[in-house]
Structure 1
Amino acid sequence: MRLLKRAFVIMVLGASMLVAKPTIYILATGGTIAGSGDSALSGSYTSGTVTVDKLIAAVPEINEIATIKGEQIAQIGSQAMNDEVWLKLADRVNALLNDGGVDGIVITHGTDTMEESAYFLNLVTKSKKPVVLVGAMRSGTSMSADGPLNIYNAVNVAMDKASAGKGVLVVMNDKIHAAREVTKTATTAVDTFKSPNTGNIGTVNYGIVNYYLQPTRKHTVSSDFSVKGLKELPRVDVIFGHTNQTADFVETAIEKGAKGIVLAGVGNGNPYPSVEEALIKAAAQGIVVVRTSRTGSGSTSVGAEVDDAKYGFVTSDNLNAAKARVLLQLALTKTNEPSKIQKFYKEY
């Protein structure tokens, strides 16, 4: 009997040792999280100088909880993010997530355009497995750098089974945000990332993950959009509304071949009169015009002060101008019919 008990204990211990840690890929694109400077007390630094292997080495604790693999996709500040990197990143994310041996992906990214990259991937990733974007507001050489803990938290979110099926996520400053909702709200503050219309969907505190909300709009596996085989995305320009505005930028966008124009209008997405006239002409030429607001939150109403039905304009629901542009780029790969594109803004 004693021998049987010992054998049973050995079997249980052996089985527990055979339980594999989750495999998490870290795809690096550069940004402040990979930046370095000459002084711990200076805001001056160079983005993207630290490679993915050094980022991983700086947070050795993640190797205790997961099998970590790293790849360098790009090495740029996110102010330089572009369609070429987006398409490369999307292709690699989809290829990895189709591999049964990969449990989740963490993408290190600069904060300037993180919300756009997250929303783009939210629309074109074809898997329920977690994809988490993470960055930092202070470079790795700065006093009280926030990057290492953000990475540790992001890996924990990517490992967590509750993260599956929630679309692409953004982890910053102990908060978990849905890609559709999150935006950068301050230039340098570590708590810059917020979701103005809905709030963050969860928290992660030293690796402890809790969710409180669920994204409801279509994303990832339910999305109609795919970038498979795409070499470029349609040109879409954003026009920022203000007082005493001229139509020059709208006219230039038309001349330069824009397929779509997003107006970040004043108030409820309203254009200056001369800009409205130029946008009406653009829509008549087959260029898709989307109205959104420069205010930072709230929905842009259909037909409130602008006759959208008459002019063939589209409204962005509560997407900000940057994200309205991302959705329009992908929508234009499907159609240039305003009524169909309006439906996309209601669904995504």
Structure 2
Amino acid sequence: MTDSRKVALIGTGGTISAVGSGPYDLIDYDANGQMLDAAGVLGLLPRAPLGIDVVTVPHEPISSTGVYLNEWKQLVSTCDELVRDVPDLVGIVISHGTASMEETAYFLNLTLKVRVPVVLVGSQRPSNALSSDAGLNLYNALRVAADPDSWGLGVLVVLNDEIHAARDVTKTSTYRLQTFSSPDVGLLGHCDGDTIAYYRHPVRLGAPNTEFDLAGLDSLPKVGISYSHTGSDGCVIRAFIAAGMRGIVVAAFAPGCFTRDELAALREAVDADIKVVVSTRAGSGRVGDGVELRKNSLIAADNLNPQKARLLLALALTRTADLNEIKRIFVTY
């Protein structure tokens, strides 16, 4: 008999897997073309966390700027297979590039059906850099995935000793180690040397209790993001209409407003049966379901940032084209 807890590690690439040309290569390490697999990433640790038995899972490296539906479907399928085939599995860790980590985490949070904790982890510095954060981030992610208190929290993101909910977290800095933040509601907890310490739970629905199903889904409805700025004349929105987009997310002026020309173009989009969701370019804060949005049949993103609002709208459109149903989905997730 053993008291060890079994955690699977899926290595998909990213800075955490990258091997730079030397200890001071903190920017151009991708050009070196060397990448560790899951076993190699695990090898960054002197040992696995006590009481955790790590099962490494081979996976083709993914550029985090190239990840999309096919790669997400593969990750969902791999998680399903691991839970089905690995006895006594208590958690899954996915190492991932930080550029799109928040989008992968949120998409998985909306589509995974496994009940074990799934934790995404990355790093800001390559694996062999001086003061690399890769090893400690992985160590903490394994601990979080194995912790019984991580059950029922949806998909999690772990970096810099912090635990974040997939829905709330965003990357806020290019190079700083404290890049990941949950601006409106804060982190869920910390990874300290003596314990995994949680302080709050997410309220919005997430994995595995969601209504979205990837079975038979070969593509996502096209949804574009339009960024508001002074002098915006709506040409981007009209280009989206011409391109046959089924949805548009506006990264609007805070707290959710537009130029006059933008609004005119958005009305044209609505008339063309394109669903429009209003987020904000501010980086935090919610968009309220105000009079102007309601009278123009626009949908409030709440506090989802534009890139996450885009994913939720795309998944919503796989289920319904009803305006009120899509509004319900944005309130629910």
TM above 0.5 = yes
Q: Please list, as runs of the form range in 1=range in 2, the aligned pairs for 1:222-241 lying within 5 A after superposition.
A: 222-241=209-228
Q: CA deviation at 1:63?
A: 6.7
Q: Is the 8 A contact 2:20 2:34 kept in 1?
A: no
Q: Which moved more, 1:319-328 or 1:34-43?
A: 34-43
Cα distance in 2 for residues equivalent to 1:28 and 1:36:
14
Q: Is the 8 A contact 2:44 2:127 kept in 1?
A: no
Residues 278 and 66 from structure 1, CA distance in 2 versus in 1: closer, same or farther, beyond 3 angstroms?
same
> What is the aligned counterpart of 1:154 among 137, 141, 153?
141
Residue 31 of structure 1 is matched in structure 2 by 14
Q: Deviations 1:28-48 (Å, cap 9, x if unpaired)?
A: 211111112213223221177
User: Are residue 340 (structure 1) and residue 318 (structure 2) matched?
Assistant: no
TM-score (normalizing by structure 2): 0.94
Q: Please list, as runs of the form range in 1=range in 2, the aligned pairs for 1:231-270 lying within 5 A after superposition.
A: 231-270=218-257
TM-score (normalizing by structure 1): 0.90
Q: Please list, as runs of the form range in 1=range in 2, the aligned pairs for 1:295-306 lying within 5 A after superposition.
A: 295-303=282-290
Q: Please list, as runs of the form range in 1=range in 2, the aligned pairs for 1:51-62 lying within 5 A after superposition.
A: 51-62=37-48
Q: CA deviation at 1:254?
A: 1.9
Structure with the larger helix share: 1
Q: Which moved more, 1:307-316 or 1:62-71?
A: 62-71
Q: CA deviation at 1:75?
A: 1.2
Q: CA deviation at 1:94?
A: 2.5
Cα distance in 2 for residues equivalent to 1:338 and 1:73:
39
Q: CA deviation at 1:95?
A: 2.8
Q: Is the 8 A contact 1:152 1:207 kept in 2?
A: no
Q: Which moved more, 1:95-104 or 1:22-31?
A: 95-104
Counterpart code for 1:156: R
Counterpart code for 2:281: R
> What is the aligned counterpart of 1:174 among 150, 161, 166?
161
Q: Please list, as runs of the form range in 1=range in 2, the aligned pairs for 1:199-214 lying within 5 A after superposition.
A: 199-206=186-193, 208-214=195-201
Radius of gyration: which is bigger? Answer: 1
Residue 321 of structure 1 is matched in structure 2 by 306
**Can you give the 5+ residue segments of structure 1 that lack an aligned partner in the other structure?**
1-17
The alignment partner of 1:80 has SS state of: coil
Q: Deviations 1:199-237 (Å, cap 9, x if unpaired)?
A: 101111236201110111111132111212322221111
The alignment partner of 1:281 has SS state of: helix
The alignment partner of 1:133 has SS state of: strand
Cα distance in 2 for residues equivalent to 1:126 and 1:256:
33
Q: Is the 8 A contact 2:49 2:142 kept in 1?
A: no
The alignment partner of 1:138 has SS state of: coil
Q: Deviations 1:137-192 (Å, cap 9, x if unpaired)?
A: 00012110001000000000000001001110000100011111111111110001
Q: Is the 8 A contact 1:48 1:76 kept in 2?
A: no
Q: Is the 8 A contact 1:48 1:77 kept in 2?
A: no
Instruction: Please give the root-mean-square deviation of Cα atoms over the aligned residues, in Å.
Output: 1.6
Q: CA deviation at 1:60?
A: 4.2
Q: CA deviation at 1:248?
A: 2.1
Q: Is the 8 A contact 2:49 2:139 kept in 1?
A: no
Cα distance in 2 for residues equivalent to 1:231 and 1:56:
33
Cα distance in 1 for residues equivalent to 2:217 and 2:174:
33
Residue 4 of structure 1 is matched in structure 2 by none
Cα distance in 2 for residues equivalent to 1:221 and 1:121:
9
Residue 29 of structure 2 is matched in structure 1 by 45
> What is the aligned counterpart of 1:94 among 80, 83, 99?
80
Residues 119 and 205 from structure 1, CA distance in 2 versus in 1: closer, same or farther, beyond 3 angstroms?
same
The alignment partner of 2:164 has SS state of: strand
> What is the aligned counterpart of 1:163 among 150, 173, 179?
150
Q: CA deviation at 1:96?
A: 2.1
Residue 71 of structure 1 is matched in structure 2 by 57
Cα distance in 2 for residues equivalent to 1:80 and 1:268:
31
Residue 10 of structure 1 is matched in structure 2 by none
**Can you give the 5+ residue segments of structure 2 that lack an aligned partner in the other structure?**
none
Cα distance in 2 for residues equivalent to 1:329 and 1:98:
29
Cα distance in 2 for residues equivalent to 1:262 and 1:91:
29
Q: Is the 8 A contact 1:98 1:127 kept in 2?
A: no
Residue 195 of structure 1 is matched in structure 2 by 182
Q: Is the 8 A contact 1:130 1:166 kept in 2?
A: yes
Q: Is the 8 A contact 1:31 1:109 kept in 2?
A: yes
Residue 119 of structure 1 is matched in structure 2 by 106
Residues 211 and 200 from structure 1, CA distance in 2 versus in 1: closer, same or farther, beyond 3 angstroms?
same
Percentage of matched positions with identical amino acids: 36
The alignment partner of 1:78 has SS state of: coil
Q: Kindly tell me the number of residue pairs found equivalent between the two proteins.
A: 329
